[in-house]
Structure 1
Amino acid sequence: MTDELLAAPAFPGRILLVCHYYAPHVGGIESVVQAEAQRLAALGHDVTVLTSADRSSVRDEGGVRVVRVRAWNGFEHRVGVPFPVFSPRLLAVAVRLARRADIVHVHDCFYLSSWSAGLAARLAGRPLVLSQHVAVVEHTSILVRAIQNLVYGTMGRLLVRRARRVFVINEYVARFVAGLGAGPQKVVVLANGVDQERYRPAGDEAERELLRKEHNLPLDRPLALFVGRLVPKKGIDIALAARTGEFDLVVVGSGDAAALSGLPGVHVLGALQPDRVAELFRACDVFVLPTTGEVFPLVVKEAMSSGLPVVTTDEPDYRAPGIEHAALALVPRDAAAVGAAIRRTIADEQVRNRMSECSRAYAQAHFSWSEHLELLREHYRAAAESSP
């Protein structure tokens, strides 16, 4: 792809992106939406983001008009479920913004913001596209699992069927949206990119040591890094059970961090902004994420771009052609297997160096924001031109 191809904005010029959270709220979907918004704006598109906040506001952020509608976020704070409950003003704001947009792009079909934007697109006569980032999330609560199934089976199904395009991050999620009624002709696998200037390997050992000092991490201990919400789906319980006296575990993410404080060999840093997380990728020795139902989630891509060896769950879709398995240690989702893989990676410098080199090379070859934007804009145009 040439620079000229991305030089001028194409129809549709005015894009409304809708997401339940947006930066500075920390999370994978938020990071993707912010990257899409700012890069589309840089290409000349008029981009508006509709999202939640403690207080309503409208402001320019990095060339993007961000409209925040007041919402209560108690579910995330109390039970770890990221589901903001919006002010009744949400639908009116969504309709107003949809009317001035050429296309409405909703991120994930699970949230009130998505449902309101889907209805607003219909009322305003604007084409709707959907990015679905996850399938049903594993949760210890039977009630939460039942609510997920109910939501996806009703409002989620309606949005999936209404959307002119359904973007998914991998084949696993593609199968999920197919089960909700998305025909194969409108499902598009759209891999997320990585900012490879932000997520890069450490320049030398002195940089690694300096970063460890800045984050109050030990200089003389091998460090395994976990980044993700502190919930069972991400495998924080498995990562904790996998630790041994041969390495320390560094934990980054939102959730009940207080329950982890004081555990020997565990360094809990809480939720951090992307620049600080990128520093930790450069400071640590191996990345661990015993997640379930995810293939190449954003944090794994960021770790690989940072040249960090990755220990993660052996999901079947990692067997797709073209994946260099020397870059990843794919293991069963249990503490013994995860711990053994971490110890093996830390103990063998040749293995660690080979994984690091393969991770970085794979990231540079496959995690491109330019390719993401080219495909996204192509399908924006097709969805808008096919609109009655």
Structure 2
Amino acid sequence: MSFMASREISTRREKPRLLLLTHYYPSHRGGVEIVAGQLATRLADCYDIHWLAADCDPPPDISGITCIPQRAWNGLEKHGLPWPIWSLRNWWRLKKTIAESDILHIHDFIYPAHLLAIPLAKILGKPVVLTQHIGDIEYRNPALRNILKTINRSFGRWMLGISSQVVFISPRVKAGFEAYTRFTSPPLYWPNGVDSRVFTPSPFPTNRNQLRESHGLDPTKPALLFVGRFVERKGLPLLRQMVEMRPNWQWCFAGWGPLDPSTWQQPNVFVWEGRQGASLATLYQLADFLVLPSHGEGFPLVIQESLACGTPVIVSEETAAGGPALPGCMTPIVHTPKNPDPAHWISVIEHRLNTDKQAECRRLCAEKAKQNWCWDTLATNYKKLLAGLLND
């Protein structure tokens, strides 16, 4: 299909067609795809959205959005690389889909289909908004670490450079790419939102004890929470060491992945799978702290969700740098993935557990979350951006 023919089709539609590309659908439960779903839901009133992602999980049923799962091989994820590879037939279809679209919104450049889509869109004259979530990752494996750095500085520099507009969710990731990328337009920093109607503090302090009891926990013992994929870069090996060092603390895990804490055979470990929305919010509400010793991330959505529920966060200094400074709400810890120090993490957690200002801290966390993050505000920004690119 020619460029002029695709333009004629677009003028006959009531709404412009937006092609949305992510590696997975939200049911995969990763932060990137959840963010994409939240934004798409709010953009559907202005755009005819066609959402392409790997068929590893069921697509969402959202009014105004047509999901088209792409057959893919996902064998690398069990090795810590969430990198689905579409079948060749679907790659050929991608060109036709781009030609029939008016504008593209892509989340992270690094996935195979995205690496093809961005230059194809450039050739076909379609504007591309690229939301970049992650940058370099300090994998313990030096080969993986160096491969990713090479990809970011070669393909990444090219993909970000030819995109019509790049939006970063983290100032740390933005600064990293700015060091070696010449952008078409000045890059933007727009943090993700959080749904404060779902992720909200427990109404009464006594409810936290009731929540713990209903989840099989002892209300008198500390409860530490981790939410995310059970993989090395999220800090699971370090968390395992801490679990063994403090058997009297209750360690709660919500997620999935190859480093499953349920295999550790520790009586103080509690694991939940498939939690999202309100059922996940209850875990944030019952916890004393969210503990996240991760590296190589932008600014994980779970931090924002936890704070919105009034639960303070103890996180690696690198990950904390992806968001605003929130004294009293987010405690950053110097963390070297290649040489972690579980005793230091334990010391910081103990100090925070012994503070006498827990209630005040939880109130402040929820207030800061409301002040800093809102999906509706973010969606409005994207609507203005997309409309401006279409009108150019």
Tell me which interval the TM-score lies in, with the shorter structure as reference length: 0.7 to 0.9
Write out per-residue CA displacement over residues 63-90 of structure 1, whole angstroms, 9 at most, x where no aligned residue: 321111011111112x121011111122
Give the structure-1-normalised TM-score: 0.86
Q: Which residue of 2 aligns with 1:6?
A: none
Q: Which amino acid aligns with 2:29?
A: V
Where structure 2 has 5 or more consecutive residues not aligned to the other structure, the ranges are: 1-13, 336-340
**Bigger Cα displacement from structure 2, 64-73 vs 225-234:** 225-234
* Deviation for aligned residue 1:294: 4.3
Q: Secondary structure at the match of 2:364?
A: helix
Q: Which residue of 2 aligns with 1:66?
A: 67
Correspondence for 2:48 among 46, 49, 66 = 46
Write out per-residue CA displacement over residues 9-34 of structure 1, whole angstroms, 9 at most, x where no aligned residue: xx983211100011211100011001
The whole-number CA distance in structure 2 between the counterparts of 1:126 and 1:193 is 27
Write out per-residue CA displacement over residues 111-158 of structure 1, whole angstroms, 9 at most, x where no aligned residue: 012113214313432111211101122222233223323432333222
Note if contact 1:136-1:148 (Cα within 8 Å) is conserved in structure 2: yes
Q: Which residue of 1 aligns with 2:329?
A: 327
Q: Which residue of 2 aligns with 1:16?
A: 19
The whole-number CA distance in structure 2 between the counterparts of 1:222 and 1:231 is 24
Q: Secondary structure at the match of 1:338?
A: helix
Q: Structure 1's 180 and 69: CA in aligned 2 closer, same or farther, altered over 3 A?
A: farther
Q: Secondary structure at the match of 2:251?
A: strand
The whole-number CA distance in structure 2 between the counterparts of 1:264 and 1:241 is 14
Q: Structure 1's 179 and 337: CA in aligned 2 closer, same or farther, altered over 3 A?
A: same
Cα RMSD for the two superposed structures: 2.7
Determine if the alignment matches structure 1 residue 376 to structure 2 residue 382.
yes
The whole-number CA distance in structure 2 between the counterparts of 1:142 and 1:310 is 29
Q: Secondary structure at the match of 2:305?
A: helix
Determine if the alignment matches structure 1 residue 156 to structure 2 residue 151.
no
Note if contact 1:107-1:131 (Cα within 8 Å) is conserved in structure 2: yes
Q: Which residue of 2 aligns with 1:112?
A: 112
Determine if the alignment matches structure 1 residue 313 to structure 2 residue 319.
no
Determine if the alignment matches structure 1 residue 366 to structure 2 residue 369.
no
Q: Which amino acid aligns with 1:265?
A: N
Q: Secondary structure at the match of 1:253?
A: strand
Q: Which amino acid aligns with 1:66?
A: C
Q: Which residue of 2 aligns with 1:76?
A: 77
* Deviation for aligned residue 1:319: 10
* Deviation for aligned residue 1:263: 2.2
* Deviation for aligned residue 1:248: 1.5
The whole-number CA distance in structure 1 between the counterparts of 2:171 and 2:140 is 25
Q: Structure 1's 268 and 104: CA in aligned 2 closer, same or farther, altered over 3 A?
A: same
Determine if the alignment matches structure 1 residue 252 to structure 2 residue 261.
no
* Deviation for aligned residue 1:335: 1.9
* Deviation for aligned residue 1:287: 0.9
Q: Structure 1's 200 and 219: CA in aligned 2 closer, same or farther, altered over 3 A?
A: same
The whole-number CA distance in structure 2 between the counterparts of 1:115 and 1:127 is 15
Write out per-residue CA displacement over residues 80-117 of structure 1, whole angstroms, 9 at most, x where no aligned residue: 21011111122233222222322111110110121132
The whole-number CA distance in structure 1 between the counterparts of 2:325 and 2:80 is 33
Alignment of 1:107-186 (within 5 A): 107-183=107-183, 185-186=185-186
Q: Secondary structure at the match of 1:195?
A: coil
Give the structure-2-normalised TM-score: 0.86
Q: Which residue of 2 aligns with 1:302?
A: 305
* Deviation for aligned residue 1:327: 1.6
The whole-number CA distance in structure 2 between the counterparts of 1:123 and 1:316 is 36
Note if contact 2:138-2:145 (Cα within 8 Å) is conserved in structure 1: yes
Where structure 1 has 5 or more consecutive residues not aligned to the other structure, the ranges are: 1-10
The whole-number CA distance in structure 2 between the counterparts of 1:261 and 1:236 is 11
Q: Which residue of 1 aligns with 2:345?
A: 338
* Deviation for aligned residue 1:282: 1.4
Q: Secondary structure at the match of 2:76?
A: helix
* Deviation for aligned residue 1:191: 0.8
Q: Structure 1's 318 and 110: CA in aligned 2 closer, same or farther, altered over 3 A?
A: closer
